[in-house]
Structure 1
Amino acid sequence: MSTQALTPAPPVTPLRRLGTAGVLLLALAATVLVAAVHVTQGTSSVGALDLLRLPFGGSDEAARVLLASRLPRLLAGVAVGVALGVAGALLQSIARNPMASPDTLAVSAGGYLAVATAAAFGLTLPVPISGGLAFLGGLAAAALVLALSAGGRTGTTRLILAGSATALALGSLTNLVMILFEQQTTGLFAWGSGSLVQSDLDAVTQLGPVIALALAAGMLAGPRLDILGLGDDTAAVLGVNARRLRLWLTLLAVVLSAAAVTIAGPIGFVGLCAPVIVRLLPSSVPGLHRHRSLLPLSGLTGVLVVLGSDIVLRAVLGGQAGVDVPPGVVTTLLGAGVMVWLARRYRDVGPTRQPPAVRTGAVRSRAGHLAIVVVCAVLLAGAVLVGLLGGDTWVLGGDVANWLQGRTGRALTYVLDQRYPRVLAAVLAGAALAVAGTAVQAACRNPLAEPGVLGVTAGAGVGAISLLAFVPLAGIWSMSAAAGTGALAAFTVVYLLSWRGGLSSDRLVLIGVGVQAACTAVTVLIIVKADPWNTAMALTWLSGSTYGRVPVQLIPVALALLLVLPLIVWLRRDLDLLALDEDTPRVLGIPLEPVRLAALGGAVLLTATAVAAVGVVGFVGLIAPHAARALAGGRHSRALPVAALLGALLVSLADTLGRTVIAPAQVPAGLVTALIGTPYFVWLLWRSRAGAR
């Protein structure tokens, strides 16, 4: 009996009967149908019947609305969907990683920063030059992320963390530009989540051919990309230069992403969703997953995602929502769901058992550790003093001494009475975030994690910004309660979704990043619906600012520190063992999940109160614990006090710098910490890159 007789025939499914050409035609028909529905929506009263009458001499009003508004919006959606769908498919194939996309590789963030910077300086650039700027920004971001993650092949977690950190830093720079140049960048906040509103067809007609040529070039390289999927060694044997092919296809993906950003801004996660949806189609269809079929199918699926999101948005919130609310909010929510599904589906989604290596400092004597604590405390005291002295009005040390004794004049008393709550807010929030980061890194067994990665910070931001937008006169305790509720809800979702026969630390991080993206999209939705033209206040708060703080706002974060610090100290030995591996704590009889839940719960409380006090401040929960371990060693009894002091020192210095460098204008403290933290994070990833390989 031959071997062929023993091989079962593939099941005959409806898609298999259609074949690859039939699937492509079916996707094209679905795209035409969705486009027909899309063109009937809008703010005017022109409906489907009015548009159907146009070939037979319909009204001039219907023709004007179609040509001036609806057709440009439709074509922009088609161009962006094709560009992002194909770019995502290329990046996933290059990195051999299902979570690679223009968003997770920070390509869109780099392009957005370039376009926003040009707008801030009042430059009205032609579409090709604007697209070139977006290309350069996106290329630089993608090159950095791929270099830090070894092309994405060292694990999904490393790729996502590198991309998230880079996107956060670029987003911080973009927010800084928009805050400093508020008038020149009016409306860019909503556009930063993707907007299909078009005043004419110039962008689409000029960049459409570029997208078509890039798609054709990708399909031309399809057979070599199929061979690349077999592995670099096999590709080399078959005559394919893997490194050169990756370089050219990465450039192609960045060109597509830059074109999409230039047309409609960074519409989130389309490049993640579209290829994943195509790859879910049954492999029984011959040739369906080969790149000459995969790329155009991903492009058509991207169009369906973009236009479908726009249709749902306007159907649910009304026609005006198509102008006010970016459809990127809907695509980001969809993409976050896909990302969570991928994280749950892939049981081994990264180097879980061997997290990125981190060097800890040598074990020091008690006297040596005490000396480090004293030095950190002295530096913090100096930072507090400089914070009291510095600002738009500088005061002298003698003025501070007199103020403490109640002997200053009215002007200096007013200045210092306004300044000291800001200094204390920075110190308390920094300490809280550092302790929270220490707990999160131990519980996740990943030194590259922080509270923001678990969606806690973004969840707290949703709660607080909701109250800020809809109840602007709400009290301090209401703000803390709203932030705490948002943080707790986000953490609960992340924890429950991460549980799958146990809690994988990598799965926890990846799902946290997905929930973080969803919460960020919801925040954008709240801001643009509440007041789309006054985003400076929300941007400042979302970037972390101590402006206008009063002493009573500091009570919640102080109470949280008083509650959680003793808990973490009590759990210090358990956390030492938990940071090693999963097996050692179980062998020693430590209740693993209760300890992990207690540590993460304390981190949630600290993060929520810190966000309520000073807004969203990033990277402190990453930098301070890692620097503390480098100075004091890996034991939590030694690292915890040093981390708290370093976190307070970092935020205090960031706040003082933000208040003084461009006084009387101010840079939010969260932007300063992000700009300081990103180079450190990049160095940390680069140093541990060899170990990850």
Structure 2
Amino acid sequence: MTGVGTTLGRSRLALLAAGLAVLIVLGSAVHLTQGTANLDPLDPLRLLFGGGPGDTAAIVLESRLPRLAAALVVGVALGVSGAALQSVARNMMASPDTLAVDAGAHLAIVAVAAVGISLPLLGAAGVAFAGGLAAALLVLTLAGTSGQGIVRLVLAGTAIALAMISATRVLLLLFSEETRGLFAWGAGSLGQNGLDGVRTLGPVVGAALLGLLVLSRRLDLMYLGDDHARTLGVHVGRIRFTTIALAVLLAATAVTIAGPIGFVGLAAPALVRLLSNVVPGLHRHAALLPVSAAMGVALLLGADVLMRALIGSQGALEVPTGVVTTVLGAIFLMVLARNIRVATAAAEPPSAHARAGVSVPRYRLITGVLVVAAIGALVGSVLLGDAKLLLGDVVNWVSGQAGPLVTGVMENRVPRVAAAFLAGAALALAGAVVQAVARNPLADPGVIGVSGGAGLGAVTVITLVSGVGFWTQAGFAGLGAAAAMAVVFALAARGGLASERLVLIGFGMQAGTQALVTLLITLSDPWNEAKALTWLGGSTYGRSFAHLVPMALAILVVVPLLVRARGELDLLSLDDETPRVLGGAVPRSRLLLLVGAVLLTGSAVAGIGVIAFVGLVAPHAARALVGRRHARMLPVAALLGAILVLAADTVGRTVIAPSQLPAGLMTALIGVPYFVWLLQRSRLASTMRA
């Protein structure tokens, strides 16, 4: 029977390999026929056998063949890189995307370009490798390699990637001349200028793949467990580092050739691992790695063919292929997360081991200090900027006695300061609500895709309707946030609202909506990189008092709801059974609270764009200061969120004045280190409990 099973497994493996080969060959043939010039499907075959007209040869060799070659090399690199990283992390969610390898490699390349250094391809690949390796090691250090921390891995990777993406966008804005063209490339593009890149870096991919194949037997043993591998003589630490280095080298090479191509490194090996249930022997790395390479090529080639078939060859020249792979990969991730087996118990908040509450005098003291700090931040934001003001100038403006210069500055600056204050408070309150309802302390409107949905709704109406008014923009932002929230929670509700599933699906939603925003901006205004970066980074620039109305209305409507539901939030953050026993209507309460979170998030995004991590960091800091009771935590979180966005906006307006940096980029740079610290504390606490 063993021999029959082995034969059956080999035949199925051979059939899978043959099927992927056929897909790649057919996809390549179709790919070569797609372009702005018509090409007969048989012309590539005639060219292959020495025939065909001269102009056909020019079209294929000079334009389409380099793009096809890039798809083949990059697909192999990403498929194998993702498979190796998943094995090392023992986590199907590991990939160059979720481990921030792509973001680290991209940041390194942009940083070198920003300082005016021009590198050859191999040098650029080396720089990308250094950035990607540093990012991967940091994420794995935070998440661990036990295979149990799926959500921690995704969140750690998301946090590190967000910080690096924010730093990259800062460099793109500050050094626009030196980094011209790197924004579109940063979304992943297969367009090539000849075959030089593939010829130079293709051998690097082949050598890294060969190195991983040499380690395949040891990787088989390590995937079963470190202790098991050590008893069989495997040097676990050395093999793990070597595997990570080779996987990062593959991802960095792919980034150098085509920019960050999203989710191929996650979807390709994940699909292969799912197929291992019906294809015996596929779990062994000697088969897993090459099949993952073929799957990566098939997915990337298929996405490129699909894109050019749907939007036309001319439009495909403007749309990065990475946008399409990210959208498709995000859908795959949400479907995978919907069916993944996760724990239904709520995760312990990183601040849970802190005091459950503080005394009334201490709470009043903390709140009073924060109120004074918020007032100080408001005053400082009004006084500081490209033009410095004095308190006397503000007093004269309030009394109507200021000169035209001070009046002009104040009329432009005060709405910006108020917008930052209101947006910070709204996002902090929304984050606290989402964390309580989802019973996940690592969730926030950005992490679970609500901010991305709001941004997509606003950008859709801005780009598709000329001269759209602000209220229409705000309305579509709210609709986008509501749609994203509905989809995420509907998918996560399968088998109970498990917190891990919610975060994974939300991560996919956030990635997909951000890719669609990039797609819309690229199609509508491909040359206006500053518009895209400013919107995605969140900015108070050009705000007027009219822009404050939606945020003010949302806060006025939702805050009384939260005051009334403060006790229900305490119960919902524990479990569903306790509020039911006490007579609470859990579905109704959850729906009302989520609607309030959507209103707060949608209005904030409509007001100043996408602001990251405020809704995650502020509630955590509030719990650490005053405990987990929402009656005390909510106002403290709102004050902390307002102070954070005010500080970020002020720094962005003053540090490089008269130039400015979007507030959202600054909140990411400020908030991510705190979030990384929270993750590290969470991991240490989990280790101590184990």
Give the TM bin, normalised by the shorter chain.
over 0.9
2:271 to 277, 292, 295: 277
Residue 205 (structure 1) aligns with: 199
2:519 to 513, 516, 525: 525
Residue 95 (structure 1) aligns with: 89
Shift of 1:499: 1.1
1:502 to 491, 496, 500: 496
Residue 39 (structure 1) aligns with: 32
| Alpha-carbon distance between aligned partners in 2 of 1:152 and 1:672, rounded to the nearest angstrom | 33
Q: Would the alpha carbon gap of residues 305 and 662 (structure 1) be closer, same or farther in structure 2, given more than 3 Å must change?
A: same
| Alpha-carbon distance between aligned partners in 1 of 2:616 and 2:369, rounded to the nearest angstrom | 21
Matched, 1:73 2:67: yes
Task: Identify the range of structure 1 (278-287 vs 628-637) with the bigger mean alpha-carbon deviation.
Answer: 278-287
| Alpha-carbon distance between aligned partners in 2 of 1:429 and 1:286, rounded to the nearest angstrom | 54
Shift of 1:682: 0.7
Structure 1 residues 250-649: aligned runs within 5 Å: 250-348=244-342, 352=346, 354=348, 356=350, 358-361=352-355, 363-649=357-643
| Alpha-carbon distance between aligned partners in 2 of 1:533 and 1:443, rounded to the nearest angstrom | 42
Shift of 1:557: 0.5
Residue 680 (structure 2) aligns with: 686
| Alpha-carbon distance between aligned partners in 2 of 1:239 and 1:273, rounded to the nearest angstrom | 32
| 3-state secondary structure, aligned to 1:48 | coil
Residue 193 (structure 1) aligns with: 187
Residue 29 (structure 1) aligns with: 22
Residue 163 (structure 1) aligns with: 157
Q: Would the alpha carbon gap of residues 680 and 351 (structure 1) be closer, same or farther in structure 2, given more than 3 Å must change?
A: farther
8 Å CA contact 1:86–1:253 kept in 2: the answer is: yes
Task: Identify the range of structure 1 (667-676 vs 241-250) with the bigger mean alpha-carbon deviation.
Answer: 241-250
Matched, 1:239 2:233: yes
Residue 78 (structure 2) aligns with: 84
| Alpha-carbon distance between aligned partners in 2 of 1:152 and 1:459, rounded to the nearest angstrom | 33
Residue 222 (structure 1) aligns with: 216
Task: Identify the range of structure 1 (393-402 vs 327-336) with the bigger mean alpha-carbon deviation.
Answer: 327-336
| Alpha-carbon distance between aligned partners in 1 of 2:292 and 2:286, rounded to the nearest angstrom | 11
Question: 1:621-652 deviations in whole A, cap 9, x for unaligned?
Answer: 11111111111111000111111111111111
Shift of 1:235: 1.2
Question: 1:456-485 deviations in whole A, cap 9, x for unaligned?
Answer: 000111111122223352112111001111
Shift of 1:233: 1.6
Runs of 5+ in structure 1 lacking a partner? none
- Return the letter of the residue paired with 1:401: V
Residue 58 (structure 1) aligns with: 52
2:169 to 172, 175, 198: 175
- Return the letter of the residue paired with 1:341: V
| Alpha-carbon distance between aligned partners in 2 of 1:501 and 1:159, rounded to the nearest angstrom | 23
- Return the letter of the residue paired with 1:368: R
State TM-score, norm by structure 2: 0.96
| Alpha-carbon distance between aligned partners in 2 of 1:196 and 1:447, rounded to the nearest angstrom | 39
Question: 1:509-567 deviations in whole A, cap 9, x for unaligned?
Answer: 11011111110111111011011111201211210100000001100010000111111
Q: Would the alpha carbon gap of residues 285 and 50 (structure 1) be closer, same or farther in structure 2, given more than 3 Å must change?
A: closer
Shift of 1:64: 1.2
Q: Would the alpha carbon gap of residues 660 and 472 (structure 1) be closer, same or farther in structure 2, given more than 3 Å must change?
A: farther
Task: Identify the range of structure 1 (366-375 vs 487-496) with the bigger mean alpha-carbon deviation.
Answer: 366-375
8 Å CA contact 2:492–2:502 kept in 1: the answer is: yes
| 3-state secondary structure, aligned to 1:199 | coil
Residue 18 (structure 1) aligns with: 11
Question: 1:580-636 deviations in whole A, cap 9, x for unaligned?
Answer: 234433333333232222222211110110000011111111111111111111100
- Return the letter of the residue paired with 2:363: H
Q: Would the alpha carbon gap of residues 283 and 645 (structure 1) be closer, same or farther in structure 2, given more than 3 Å must change?
A: closer
- Return the letter of the residue paired with 1:411: L
| Alpha-carbon distance between aligned partners in 2 of 1:214 and 1:370, rounded to the nearest angstrom | 60
| Alpha-carbon distance between aligned partners in 2 of 1:213 and 1:349, rounded to the nearest angstrom | 40
- Return the letter of the residue paired with 1:38: H
8 Å CA contact 1:207–1:259 kept in 2: the answer is: yes
Q: Would the alpha carbon gap of residues 8 and 196 (structure 1) be closer, same or farther in structure 2, given more than 3 Å must change?
A: closer
| Alpha-carbon distance between aligned partners in 2 of 1:472 and 1:29, rounded to the nearest angstrom | 46
8 Å CA contact 1:392–1:659 kept in 2: the answer is: yes
Matched, 1:663 2:636: no
8 Å CA contact 1:165–1:681 kept in 2: the answer is: yes
| 3-state secondary structure, aligned to 1:568 | helix
8 Å CA contact 1:356–1:692 kept in 2: the answer is: no
Shift of 1:341: 1.8
8 Å CA contact 2:377–2:646 kept in 1: the answer is: yes
Shift of 1:349: 5.6
Structure 1 residues 88-127: aligned runs within 5 Å: 88-127=82-121
Shift of 1:353: 5.3
| Alpha-carbon distance between aligned partners in 1 of 2:440 and 2:347, rounded to the nearest angstrom | 10
Shift of 1:247: 1.1
Shift of 1:213: 1.0
Matched, 1:128 2:122: yes
Task: Identify the range of structure 1 (147-156 vs 248-257) with the bigger mean alpha-carbon deviation.
Answer: 147-156
| Alpha-carbon distance between aligned partners in 1 of 2:634 and 2:19, rounded to the nearest angstrom | 59
Runs of 4+ aligned structure 1 residues displaced above 6 Å come to 7-12
| Alpha-carbon distance between aligned partners in 2 of 1:229 and 1:493, rounded to the nearest angstrom | 34
Question: 1:6-65 deviations in whole A, cap 9, x for unaligned?
Answer: x998699xx857343443233223212211111111122333244344345422221111
State TM-score, norm by structure 1: 0.96
Shift of 1:506: 1.5
| Alpha-carbon distance between aligned partners in 1 of 2:488 and 2:211, rounded to the nearest angstrom | 40
Shift of 1:654: 0.8
- Return the letter of the residue paired with 1:29: V
Q: Would the alpha carbon gap of residues 443 and 83 (structure 1) be closer, same or farther in structure 2, given more than 3 Å must change?
A: same
| Alpha-carbon distance between aligned partners in 2 of 1:472 and 1:625, rounded to the nearest angstrom | 38
CA RMSD of aligned residues (A): 1.9
| Alpha-carbon distance between aligned partners in 2 of 1:350 and 1:328, rounded to the nearest angstrom | 34
- Return the letter of the residue paired with 1:577: L
| Alpha-carbon distance between aligned partners in 1 of 2:369 and 2:52, rounded to the nearest angstrom | 80
Question: 1:382-407 deviations in whole A, cap 9, x for unaligned?
Answer: 11111111111111110000000000
| Alpha-carbon distance between aligned partners in 1 of 2:347 and 2:441, rounded to the nearest angstrom | 13
Q: Would the alpha carbon gap of residues 25 and 548 (structure 1) be closer, same or farther in structure 2, given more than 3 Å must change?
A: same
8 Å CA contact 2:344–2:499 kept in 1: the answer is: no
| Alpha-carbon distance between aligned partners in 1 of 2:333 and 2:222, rounded to the nearest angstrom | 24
8 Å CA contact 1:267–1:331 kept in 2: the answer is: yes
Q: Would the alpha carbon gap of residues 284 and 319 (structure 1) be closer, same or farther in structure 2, given more than 3 Å must change?
A: closer
| 3-state secondary structure, aligned to 1:514 | helix
- Return the letter of the residue paired with 1:237: T
